[in-house]
Amino acid sequence: MRLTGIAVLAGILSLPARAQTPAAGPGVPGIVNGFRNPALLDTEGKPWALNIVQFGGRATSNTASIHIGDLGKKGADFLRSDILGTSSVSTGVGGLDIKGPSFAFRASDRLTVGITTRARIHANYGDVDGRLLSEIGEITKVEQSYPYRLPQIANMQTSIAAFTDIGATFSYELARTDHHRVRVGGTLKYVNGAAHTSIDVSELTGTIRLNSDRVSYITAATGTVSALTAGKLFNNFSLGNLLKPRKGSLGADIGVSYAFHTSAGEPWKFRLSASVTDIGNIRYRADSAYSKSYDIDIASDKRLYFNGSFNNSLFSRASRVFDSYPQYFKRTGRRNDIYTVALPAMLHVQADYRFSPQWIVNAAAGMSLQGQHDLYKLYEVPYIALAPSWVRNNVVLSVPLAYQEYAGLTAGASVRYKGFAIGSNSILSAVFGGKQVDLHIGYVISSQK
């Protein structure tokens, strides 16, 4: 049974896709720093800077096992075998982050202002039974033992949110002496809820068996399932559906930074900064055609086959599958209300030290301000990171090291040449096998004066 047709989730989590914005440092253009901490918005000594595009993405989970050779696998197969696994209960995060055209300019000696654009798809899933999903619409058959009794998990949840924002941002030098400088910054964002879809399976019990033709089915199953969908993006992925105005809301970022200079006119020697990003909510309207709740009741003498002929089983339209089997899924509710999903708010703290003109070390930490396992709150993983960087003329080479929830220890590499930057926070650890795959790439231009 292709119960949810996990194409959408597979596509998001199996790309080298949503990376956290790399910690602000020499490998990150100054205008991009403003997304992590608006106080660090900078045109790098030029009158203006223009971000053309920054693409980032990541997939990580507590059950992932990723090697470089796995990256060529098909989406759903990669999701099952390398992210979710086929025998354990899995929790993870993934998605895409596209920072679109953004412009910043120096309004005065102390003030830098800008306009930003951004589009994101953020996926959270928690306590998903990889053994159960290994039966659903397999590309590659995984040999399993039968019968398999489902462990009673309180909630198996998956939530995917797509949203865009346009922001007005500033960075202002609040205090300045020969040795000390303090900057504050903020961004006010208009957030457009493009699409959202979630499935919540509660208290599911049952047994998976094989028939005489070795086709798997579930029987003696009980529990509840709720499907919630807003917008058309995940059913018809297009630029128009991503950017179409829907329910709007406001969001904000705030930040502060302190820099120590050995003498006036010299670059900073030490810099300490903190910020809170993604304050606010996203608004959506539930689509009543696909936002429904059901009681599950499959008797011990009944069988629901996993790989039957199921049509219209896209993740965002899973209710069509449930409606096709009213004898097993009794509808208990329908929604068409406006609801909110909290942005993935985080607290970031960062310290930078310049040992010499060629060597800079960046240390950073982040903590989510949202709770886990909540369909109405987007969750981003906490992290601690250290990134030594070598700077020479227009070239910056960095080796980021990090410890993150789910992924554990990761090691990556990045390179920047003038306005072009590319890197991964996990490419080196993937050589030996890791729990994360990610990529960031982008290009910025600035005035030549």
Using a cut of 0.85, tell me whether the model's pTM lies above it.
yes
Amino acid at 287: D
The number of C-alpha atoms within 13 Å of 101 and in the hemisphere containing its C-beta is 0
Tracing tokens 């809820």 back to the chain, one arrives at: 193
Could you tell me the CA-to-CA distances from 331 to 224, 225, 294, 319, 376 in Å, in that order?
10, 9, 4, 10, 22
Task: Output DSSP code: residue 251.
Answer: E
Residue 155 corresponds to which tokens in the numbers above? 């909630």
- Residue-wise pLDDT tens digits, 31-54: 888 999 999 998 888 899 999 999
Q: How confident is the model at residue 18 (pLDDT cuts 50, 70, 90)?
A: very low
Judge whether residue 143 has pLDDT over 80: no
Could you tell me the CA-to-CA distances from 389 to 232, 287, 404, 408, 423 in Å, in that order?
43, 48, 20, 22, 13
> What percentage of the chain has pLDDT greater than the value 70?
86
339-350 as b/e, with b when 16 or more CB fall inside 10 Å? bebbbbbbebeb
Q: What is the average pLDDT score of the chain? A: 86
Q: How confident is the model at residue 17 (pLDDT cuts 50, 70, 90)?
A: very low
Task: Give the C-alpha separation, 38 to 440, whole Å.
Answer: 20
- Residue-wise pLDDT tens digits, 110-125: 999 999 999 999 999 9
Q: Give the number of other Cβ atoms within 10 Å of residue 445's Cβ.
A: 16
Task: Give the C-alpha separation, 388 to 381, whole Å.
Answer: 22
Question: Would you list the domain boundaries of the chain?
Answer: 7-402+413-446
pLDDT at 201: 93
Cβ-contact 296, 223 below 8 angstroms: yes
